[in-house]
Homo-oligomer: A and B are copies of this chain.
């Protein structure tokens, strides 16, 4: 770390973009010393691209190709090219619904961050809040982690618990988890872009604050 582009973020998302909006609002309020340089989506009419447009941030639809759960080779190459040209250090997944493969992981090794709507390792994969409801846990939560070759298995940067209420529906629980996401993601990104994380293998710890005389 310590690169001079460490504050530059690229975002990948497939949906409405509520986490991107939370990040962007944290930047505009001065809380998060970062800048979103580019937003990419595999969904042509995704809300996240509209938000990028409203905020005058470069944004692109990248045709994902013939696969359902990942990008094909040319889409992956296109994403890598666009992110590199934009000069970003961090690739931040914000509701991106495809698994990233080898070439992408190598291009941005240990610089891809994801947020997952459960306390991993419980409930990896899709619709984690529905998995939690079906299992009838009393607490689920939110996990921010680095992305590795597994599905939601990478080094954990931060977590936050969220209670499950007896009368929760999929909708009410998902909303409560999302509100926790909008708090946690900007907080973790602030620690990342300011170089406060020390990551060794699975062990990601926050360095002590340095006090100046």
Q: In the complex, A120→B140 CA distance in Å? A: 10
User: Given B121, B135, B202, B206, which contacts A166 in the complex, CB threshold below 8 Å?
Assistant: B206
The reply to whether the CB of A170 lies closer than 8 angstroms to some CB of chain B is no
User: For residue A123, which residues in chain B have a CB less than 8 angstroms away from its CB?
Assistant: 121
B159 touches A137 (CB 8 A): yes
User: For residue A155, which residues in chain B have a CB less than 8 angstroms away from its CB?
Assistant: 136
How many A residues have CB within 8 A of the partner chain? 25
Instruction: Output the least CB separation between A136 and chain B (Å).
Output: 5
Instruction: Output the least CB separation between A152 and chain B (Å).
Output: 12
The reply to whether the CB of A139 lies closer than 8 angstroms to some CB of chain B is yes
User: Given B135, B159, B205, which contacts A139 in the complex, CB threshold below 8 Å?
Assistant: B159
Produce 1/0 per residue, A119-147, CB < 8 A to B.
Answer: 11111000000000011111101010000
Name 6 extra pairs, CB < 8 A, besides A138-B159, A141-B161. A120-B122, A121-B123, A134-B202, A136-B204, A139-B161, A161-B161
B122 touches A203 (CB 8 A): no
